[in-house]
Amino acid sequence: MSDRPTHSSGDPDHHFAPPTPPSNTDYRHARWPVRHFGLASGPQNNPKPKTQNPKWNDPRQIVVVGVCSSGKSTLANNLREKGFRARTVAQEHSYVPHLWQLSRPDLLIYLDASLPTIRRRRKARWPQSMLDDEHLKLAMARKHCDLYVHTDGLLPEDVASRVLTFLNNNRAGSRDQVSGTGDQ
């Protein structure tokens, strides 16, 4: 005879049963806010207030986009270490052309790299069509970027230095082109 208590159903493990799905009178399902990106609401009409976090030296939201292996994550990490609010957006994997805009960036930085550089950094054999597809997905971001950096031939420190120079000398409304190889 088991010394475990049994339920009236005879199942000693009845307390492990999954909870019942929420009903229309069960409000557990309503605890998370719902975001609607329609015409009357959304980030463009309801901007998040910019609060100054003491750990950020610069309150601007910086978003980094670009092709795979162009150095986006490394750059964002370097910028955060310097006190900038920087994040990456994987726009190159999305068919939503304005995905980067959902982050509401104050500055958009676009990193690019050639196929031989990507192959060397990733140690993979990409076809040109894959890079072409990423460029198509990034076309809107490329058109609206505040700073374009071609990272071929640049060390991560070089990319960070160029971006930091731009950020420190940023002129409102300017668009800059920075090439890593001088052939831009």
Q: Is the pLDDT of residue 103 over 70?
A: yes
> How confident is the model at residue 139, as a pLDDT?
93
- The two tokens of residue 58 are 């610069």
Instruction: Output the average pLDDT for the chain.
Output: 75
Structure tokens at 39: 């015409």
Coil, helix or strand at residue 140: helix
Global pTM exceeds 0.75: no
**122: CATH:** 3.40.50.300
- Report the alpha-carbon distance of residue 44 to residue 42 in Å, rounded: 6
H-type alpha helices, the chain: 72-81, 115-122, 128-137, 139-144, 156-168
Average pLDDT over residues 99-105: 87
The answer to whether the CB of 133 falls within 8 A of the CB of 80 is: no
In a domain, residue 71? The reply is yes
Assigned domain for 4 exists: no
pLDDT: which is higher, 179 or 97: 97
Confidence of residue 20 (pLDDT cuts 50, 70, 90): low
Q: Under a CB-based contact definition with an 8 Å cutoff, are residues 83 and 77 in contact?
A: no
pLDDT reading at 164 higher than 90? yes
Structural domain of 134: 58-179
Output 15 or 71, whichever has higher pLDDT.
71
pLDDT for 135-154, tens place per residue? 999 999 999 999 999 999 99
- Tell me if 43 is assigned to some domain: no
* 10 in any annotated domain: no
* Percentage, residues of the chain above pLDDT 90: 46
